[in-house]
Amino acid sequence: MPKAGITPRAQDYSQWYLDIVREADLADYAEIVRGSIVFKPTGYAIWEAIQSGLDLRIKATGHVNAYFPLLIPKSLLLKEAEHVEGFAPEVAEVTRVSGVELAEPYVIRPTSETIIGYFYAKWIRSWRDLPLLINQWANVVRWEMRTRPFLRTTEFLWQEGHTVHATEEDAERETLLILHDVYGDFLENEMAIPVIKGLKTEKEKFAGALRTYALEAMMQDGRALQAGTSHNLGQNFAKAFDITFSDQNNTIQVAWTTSWGVSTRLIGALIMVHSDDEGLVLPPRIAPTQVVVVPIYKNEAEKVSVMATVARLTAEWKGRIRFKVDGRDNLSPGFKFNEWELKGIPIRVEIGPKDVAKETVAVARRDRPGREGKSFIPQAGLTEHLIELLADIQQSLFTKALKFREEHTFFATNLAELQAAVEQGFARCYWAGSKEDEQRIQTDFKATIRAIPFDQPPTPGPCVLTGQETTQQVIFARAY
């Protein structure tokens, strides 16, 4: 049975998502600020977990953090024509201050390639200054027409890496390093979200980029969500902002740049990949709280005995398990069980007077609601049992999500099969079409090419649209 207040996924997936955001206390609509949300403590704690995990990986690859201004002179944005054209519909401008018209409007950053390019041109002089590897944790503003919490909001949080290199090979190596070793590793091993890695088509690539690589994940309604992108910008931005360097032969060269980012839409992905009709489900490695302990007692004597046992058992967890003891006396155990299920805590431990007497505890795993996921465990060895159980839950969530994606990915050999496939999930097919052909598929079937996967077939086949023989396969899907 679905939780009260949560619409079943099968009935209305979109409403189910909004119900999870509300009932799990992740966010609130900031209706006084168009298209924005308030990250409530529960939701922001998940973002902090994502941020800290990614930050460690980013720094481990030699990058350092910095911060650049929120306001960008409009003239900077106009310097790279393809870039400004791509972002023009979403750009918000500041034109007046204290009632006085500004001589030049400021753009509220939709992304920071332009202002960072300006400063990189000042800082880089020689090949000795390269590579320049900087990341920024920031907020951005894009004036979205249709918004949805975490997935698409006017203001959102993200990280954006911006690097400069001496050669195209170095820039390409950087782009793929971030895609595989930072984003791919984090999404699959920490968030338990299987991803398809691949190249974006010319139609779908980042405005102004030479090449865009992406990670695409499947949600439980069969739609794709772009979970992260890494762009080899070529020399486009370097030429626009005069990012040059003197090489070892004292010859002036134009640099090669990259940019890459993930955002708070990862929280949306987390919800839609793992959660169920009972509420939010969090993979243990990303969960701010991995284990919640609910003490159960009816009187003061029982409370003293139970709480002493709780203190003894949890003393071993410090530094090994992220846990919380719910000692609120004004709420019933049943209310607490319901609340922590809604908020997706991976494991719930219940300890009452009978458990104290028997030297046992009740353990409930969130990924298996109801009796199936509940067992009684001896207190002796409980810490090791919980650590093993957390690892099992983490792997089980990934395996379940991967199985779902595999079962909802179909090979299409003609347009009828392509249309049927994207109504249920991903369509994989041979493709030799043009940008105009892509647009035709998008118009007719509301689906786009999400990626040209790195894993390509050894043998050619006919294009799903043109019939032309090709060795290239793509993934079509409807997307968020």
CATH number of 291-401: 3.40.50.800
Q: How far apart are CA 171 and CA 262, in angstroms?
A: 19
∠ CA 163-166-169, rounded to 5°: 85
Write the pLDDT tens digit of every residue in 247-302.
999 999 999 999 999 999 999 999 999 999 999 999 999 999 999 999 999 999 99
Short-list 391, 271, 270, 281, CA closest to 346: 281
Q: How far apart are CA 10 and CA 22, in angstroms?
A: 19
Using pLDDT thresholds of 50, 70 and 90, give the confidence band for residue 78.
confident
Ranges of each domain in the chain: 13-274, 291-401, 409-477
Q: How far apart are CA 321 and CA 310, in angstroms?
A: 14
Provide the percentage of residues in the chain whose pLDDT is more than 70: 98
Q: If you compute the radius of gyration of the chain from its CA atoms, what whole number of angstroms results? A: 25
pLDDT value of position 88:
72
pLDDT value of position 370:
87
Write the pLDDT tens digit of every residue in 376-432.
999 999 999 999 999 999 999 999 999 999 999 999 999 999 999 999 999 999 999
Residue 1 has pLDDT above 70, yes or no: no
Write the pLDDT tens digit of every residue in 137-193.
999 999 887 889 999 999 999 999 999 999 999 999 999 999 999 999 999 999 999
Q: CB 351: neighbour CB atoms within 10 A? A: 24
Q: Is 98 left (phi over 0), alpha (psi -120 to 50) or beta?
A: left
Residue 466 has pLDDT above 80, yes or no: yes
257 contacts 117 by C-beta, under 8 angstroms: yes
Q: Which two tokens stand for residue 59?
A: 């720094």
pLDDT value of position 83:
64
Q: How far apart are CA 319 and CA 316, in angstroms?
A: 8
Using pLDDT thresholds of 50, 70 and 90, give the confidence band for residue 84.
low
Average pLDDT for the chain: 96
Residue 468 has pLDDT above 90, yes or no: yes
pLDDT value of position 357:
97
Q: How far apart are CA 393 and CA 398, in angstroms?
A: 9
Q: Which two tokens stand for residue 279?
A: 């509420």
Provide the percentage of residues in the chain whose pLDDT is more than 90: 92
Beta bridge partners of 360: 378
Residue 2 has pLDDT above 70, yes or no: no
> Strand order of the sheet with strand 323-325?
323-325, 291-295, 347-351, 360-365, 374-378
CATH architecture, range 13-274:
2-Layer Sandwich (3.30)
pLDDT value of position 89:
73
CATH number of 409-477: 3.30.110.30
pLDDT value of position 205:
95
Short-list 320, 167, 306, 321, CA closest to 235: 167
pLDDT value of position 131:
98
pLDDT value of position 146:
84
pLDDT value of position 144:
83
pLDDT value of position 79:
83
Using pLDDT thresholds of 50, 70 and 90, give the confidence band for residue 445.
very high
216 contacts 224 by C-beta, under 8 angstroms: yes
Write the pLDDT tens digit of every residue in 202-213.
999 998 899 999
Residue 120 has pLDDT above 90, yes or no: yes
Q: How far apart are CA 103 and CA 75, in angstroms?
A: 11
Q: Which two tokens stand for residue 230?
A: 């890494």
What would the mean pLDDT of 78-98 be, rounded to a whole number?
A: 81
pLDDT value of position 173:
98
3-class secondary structure, 54: helix
